[in-house]
Amino acid sequence: MRFYLPRVLLFAALLILTCAAGRGPVRADAITVFAAASMKNALEEIAGDFMAATSHSVTFSFAGSSVLARQIALGAPADIFVSASTDWMDYLEAEGRLEPDSRSDLAGNSLVLIAGDGNTGSVRPGPDTDLPALLSGGRLAMALTDAVPAGIYGKAALQHYGMWESVAPHVAQTDNVRAALALVAQGAAPLGIVYASDAAAEPRVRVIATFAPESHPAIVYPVAAVAGRDTPASRALLDYLGRDAAHIILMRHGFAAVAE
């Protein structure tokens, strides 16, 4: 008995330790987020708070929503997708690339015409506005008008106001809206069309016109988990994005609440 009892006790102790380990802290996981370029500043701030509050890490890939959606459709290793367009999220949903019941609307935005910070004028969009003349031989910076949401919204707004036909030959198209913002900020283009949140993020530009909401499709940023990559960590981040603290950060960066 003296020889047998310690072995039993040792086995029991090991069993207790094993069970206790199973109830330990949740494993730290890495989360990869593909997100619209216009979301960069806000999402990085939100992710910083999320990582400080959890054991998880977040890595971003920022680009135009069209580029990111196509990459995800081809199997790119994204855990979460944040789009600047419901159309590209609809595309992935139709392709079966989204986790069921994980999609929600994160934020809205508005569309603005910007100039360099030395421009003190203002513009009233309309058919009588001579936008090419205001460019003074320069270019109007816009994201790709047939693929990137900001460019699609911008083209629709200019068409609504009867300004597109005259200014189309003078448009400099970029891969994403932040690239269009950079052209104006750096003085490479006198004017640009971007989101209000982009203008708020760049002190070297100023807003000289705001396009009415009815002039373009509603700007909505949906977010969802990518099919096959739905983990407790990614669900935790999706939940965090839906909290008031995240919404406050989004509003501070120039985004808008989504209309009910």
**Residue 177 labeled ligand binder:** yes
pTM equals 0.84
Question: Residues with Cβ < 8 Å from 119, sequence gap 6 or more?
Answer: 190, 206, 208
Q: Is 80 exceeded by the pLDDT of residue 25?
A: no
pLDDT value, residue 106: 97
- Please compute the mean of the pLDDT values over residues 171-184 and round it to a whole number: 97
Could you tell me which of 240, 192, 226 has the C-alpha nearest to residue 68? 226
CATH number of the 30-108+219-252 domain: 3.40.190.10
Domains 30-108+219-252 and 111-215 alike in fold: yes
Q: ∠ at Cα 187 (183, 188), nearest 5°?
A: 55
- Tens-place pLDDT, residues 62-116: 999 999 999 999 999 999 999 999 999 999 999 999 999 999 999 999 999 999 9
Beta-ladder partners of 85: none
What is the dotted CATH code of the domain comprising 111-215? 3.40.190.10
Residue 181 has pLDDT above 90, yes or no: yes
Q: How many helices (H) and strands (E) does the chain have?
A: 11, 10
For the chain, give every domain's residue range: 30-108+219-252, 111-215
Residue predicted with more confidence, 13 or 137: 137
Q: Is 38 among the annotated ligand-binding positions?
A: yes
Say whether 66 counts as a known binding-site residue: no
Q: Check whether 26 is labelled as a binding-site residue.
A: no
- Find the farthest-apart pair of alpha carbons in the chain and give their distance in angstroms, rounded: 102
pLDDT confidence band for 235 (50 / 70 / 90):
very high
Q: Does 23 score more than 80 pLDDT?
A: no
Confirm or deny that 150 is annotated as ligand binding.
yes
